[in-house]
Amino acid sequence: MSQETNEQANASSHGMSGMIIRTLWDYIGDYPKLMVFSMSLGVIGGMLQLAPHFIVYLIANDVIADELFAQRLYLLGGICLALVVVGLITTWGSSHVSHIIAANVQKQLRQKIATKLTRVPLGFFADHNAHELKTLVVDDVEAIEDGVAHLIPEITAAFTAPAFILAAMFWMDWRMALASILGLVAAFYMMGKSVMTTTETTRKFYASKEKMGAQILEVVQNLPMVKILSRGDATLSGVSDSFAEFRNIIEEWVSSNAGGPSWFMLLSSSALLFVLPVGLLLIYLHMLDLSTLIFFLLFSIGLNNLTINIYSFTHRLARQASIHIKMEQFYNADELQLHDVVSSSGRQDVAFRNVSFSYEHTKVLSGISFEVPQGSSLALVGPSGAGKTTIARLLPRFWDVDEGRIEIGGVDIRHMTPQDLSAQMSFVFQEIFLFSDSIASNIGIGRDGPSEDDIIAAAKAAQIHDFIMTLPDGYETVLSSKGNISGGEKQRICIARAILKNAPILVLDEATSFADAKSEAALQKAINQLIKGKTLIVIAHRLSTIRNLDRIAVVVDGQIVETGGHEELLAVEGKYKNMWDAHSRARNFKIGVQSAEGTS
């Protein structure tokens, strides 16, 4: 690394440290005076750590002057004990006050994060997994406690108390003072070289750790299916890669920082190597008295004890820096922009007008246009990855379109408040979203303050009431993350939630994906109850379930290539006809296999 690069990195590390300290101070918000009080107590506690050194110095002076008496020894011992006790009390007080501040800071940060989460588009949650958000809200905010409760008062004490000692040293004898700080200067130089790579390495360390945690969580949650499919080795290979990446980063961290702590500890504790020879030389030259040498020997050791923990600040500040960068990225996430609010027209027709959309700079939809009149239905069909689900998720503003517009009742959804937009529609996604709460609560979340009768009526309409009543706790059965009911049953609970909400627009995204031969009929009855009188958009692979809908749109590579009714599209003999023929062959093959099994 060139000298210029070294200087830039050094300046960068110092700038980052200063920025983090300012950021930590900004976190304090409403408590600056209380933090100053904590810092003052910390400085007093740090200074009083030197009380034994000062008392020993006074005793040594009395011994040299042959004036030490038992009464004075007891007095000095009592004073030393009292000062040590006061030092412990002030240090405890500093920590107690700073922890009170830290608890309030953590509360405010979590509230700020929660507020931000209400302002980001729904697509933010599709782009960031639950483990990542949990780490931010719980682990990262918890780690800020070290910055506020410990680093601010500890750094203040670690630099202020030594400053007073150095001032006293230079006042007594500048030559001995210089000898006392030679080791510290060398120690801080070595620390500076190590710090240059600490912030970036720390950021990479925690990012890799977070990635590894998310992958482990995903594998553990899906382990039963992995074992059933006998795909354990293939699934674990990705996790093994993250293990290897994490190991490599640890090795990089150790190799780049291993020498720093050792050199700092060695040089910062080597004051006697400089103070004693210089002091003895000056005494030999009659330029220093023994009493002053004893002072510098004692307080050089005390000075080193105060500064020896400074090296740990660099790694802890680097951790705070990595959190700060992550927090800034989170706070800078695009928010859902609310344009001039327009009142709802009262109609529930849906229209996509020349909509184009890119995801992470890759165009996934181009020129999408269709209309779904109020009370009518539209099916979106096409191969996997064609963009069907993306179209559906643009309707509730998971993301905003790049071009074109989406309208409900003739009103651009970007001019509707999130509350009004949400009230207009219900969703039943392929992915099942249920809380680890009672079945009643999971159904009831569809509407504010539903009665027990409302919940039961929705469950009956969703063909799930009879099953719920077979459970020991009925509607109070708590749904387990481990899965104490089947996928089809969970899907019907989601449908009951949508029935209870009774929104005029309904989007079904592969709503029968969890249906088996036993549950498909019940699930289809539930869907038939749900869609009555609704403006309906359906995404489905099972073409037989959408043949009676008003219109069908075929999506291929992010574009609508065919639209029309079932019979109309079959007559065209295009993409839909090919898909229908393939679907029919698959159904006939399945029926043939089942018949053969029945006669064997």
State residue 511's pLDDT score: 61
The span from the CA of 277 to the CA of 135, in Å, is 53
pTM for this entry: 0.64
Instruction: Reduce the DSSP state of residue 479 to 3 states and report it.
Output: coil
Question: What confidence tens digit (pLDDT) does each residue in 490-548 have?
Answer: 888 888 888 888 888 988 887 655 555 555 666 667 677 777 788 889 887 778 778 88
Alpha-helical (H) ranges within 49-122 are 51-64, 70-119
- How do residues 331-373 score in pLDDT, each as one tens digit? 888 777 776 677 666 778 899 999 999 887 889 999 999 999 9
Find which of 257-271, 296-310, 464-478 is predicted with most confidence, using mean pLDDT.
464-478
Domains present along the chain, CATH in parentheses: 3-331 (1.20.1560.10), 350-436+503-599 (3.40.50.300)
Query: Average per-residue pLDDT in the chain?
Result: 78
Q: What is the percentage of the chain residues whose pLDDT exceeds 70? A: 77
Higher pLDDT, 147 or 371: 371
- Residue 92 pLDDT: 93
Kindly report the three-state secondary structure assignment for every residue of 177-240: HHHHHHHHHHHHHHHHHHHCCHHHHHHHHHHHHHHHHHHHHHHHHCHHHHHHCCCHHHHHHHHH
How many CB atoms lie under 10 A from the CB of residue 331?
Answer: 11
Average pLDDT over residues 144-161: 85
φ, ψ for residue 560, nearest 5 deg: -85, 120
- Per-residue pLDDT at 515: 55
560 strand-pairing partners: 555
Distance CA 192, CA 84 (A): 33
pLDDT of 228 strictly over 60: no
Short-list 219, 257, 260, 256, CA closest to 237: 219
Task: Read off the pLDDT of residues 281-331 as tens digits, 9 standing for 90 and up.
Answer: 988 888 988 888 888 888 887 777 666 767 677 778 777 887 888 888 888
Q: What is the mean pLDDT of residues 66-77?
A: 78
